Structure 1
Amino acid sequence: MSEPGPSSIPTSADPRSHRPTKRRAVTPHSEQASAITSLFRDPSKEIKLPSAPSQRTASSLPAPPEIVANVQGSSAGAGSGEFHVYKASRRREYERLRLMQDEVDREKDGAEWQRQQDEVKRKDEEKTEKNRKRREKRNKAKAKGGKKGGAGAAGGGEAKGDEMDVTEEKTATKGPEGNGDQTVEAVEAPGVIIHDD
């Protein structure tokens, strides 16, 4: 055991030491706490929030050089620094190509999404138009049947004007004696209308 004294104090904690204290690993909690305490130190001071980073595009990157005077490669015989220059230029070019491909994919996805939205909208409009026609037809049949007060209203609202005339006309049929002098009104039962041509 060491005896208490200046030799047992760590050098960074010794008040006589002019070395800066060791920085410990910063946790997210302590980092946020220090940011909040620095904000509350002067409440009247204006807070400047950083703007959102703009999305990188191929056009935001510098254009590749049009003429490369000294083409570098990773082959033998190049200087020790040439490989790193080559790797950096290759990385820049790959980044530029990746951003260009991302733009193309984004445009393609946008066009596909727009096409799907147009298709859904078109189907909805077709269905709405079909229902509108059906509703108008039903209302017209109700109005027509309500004025006459006859078989049109009882026929389910699907009978048209010329069919109503056919159902209301009287036809001569042979009675039980077969003499043909009885008249019977032909009334169509509500339901499906079948026309034989």
Structure 2
Amino acid sequence: MSIKTKQRINLEKLMKNIDKPVHIPEPSKDRKPPQPPEYVRNVMGSSAGAGSAEFHLYRNLRKRDMIREDIMKNQIKKETKEKEFQENLEKINKEKETKRTKKRAKRIMQSIFGISIQSTFATTYDNC
């Protein structure tokens, strides 16, 4: 049976009972780095004098540690980007709020006095 026919059969099964809910799992959001090993036995490294088995043990240990460090670096980058974004968002919101209050005050002044502020400036400069 080919992959195409398996997919067709599965699709037909799903289409027979349309009312049945389908569970789609959410992807995991946070990936925790694996814990470093507490004790490593007989690791000689990749230098001379190490046997063939020790080299592979060292290489695998180093690879796992590099992956763990990369995950931690990526988490730190993600946290700093999120922090910068939040700070930038707060700054933008403060600027918008100051503009909003200035415009609100201008509208209130216009409604109280019944004149526009710009028209008074235009007439004073035209008379000079």
Q: TM-score, normalised by structure 1?
A: 0.50
Larger CA Rg, structure 1 vs 2? 1
Give the aligned partner of residue 25 of structure 2: 51
Residue 128 of structure 1 deviates from its aligned partner by: 0.4
Distance 1:98 1:192, change over 3 A: same
1:107 counterpart letter in structure 2? E
Deviations 1:138-161 (A, max 9, x none): 11112xxxxxxxxxxxxx455xxx
Q: Indicate the SS of the match to 2:32.
A: coil
Equivalent pair of 1:57/1:103 in contact (CA under 8 Å): no
Partner of 1:82: 54
Match of 1:111 in 2: 83
Structure 1 unaligned regions, length at least 5 = 1-22, 24-29, 143-155, 159-189
CA shift in 2, pair 1:72/1:40, >3 Å: farther
Which structure has greater helix proportion? Answer: 2
> Is the 1:74–1:83 contact (alpha carbons within 8 Å) kept by the matching residues of 2?
yes
Change (3 A) 1:115 1:126: same
Count of residues in correspondence between the two structures:
117
Write the distance in 1 (CA, Å) between the matches of 2:104 and 2:22.
Answer: 57
CA gap 1:41/1:132 in 2 versus in 1, 3 angstroms: closer
Match of 1:191, SS? Answer: helix
Q: Map of 1:79-158 to 2, 5 A cutoff?
A: 79-142=51-114, 156=115
Structure with the higher strand share, 1 or 2:
1
Tell me the percent identity: 30
Could you tell me which amino acid in structure 1 is paired with residue 97 of structure 2?
Answer: E
Structure 2 stretches lacking a partner, 5+ long? none
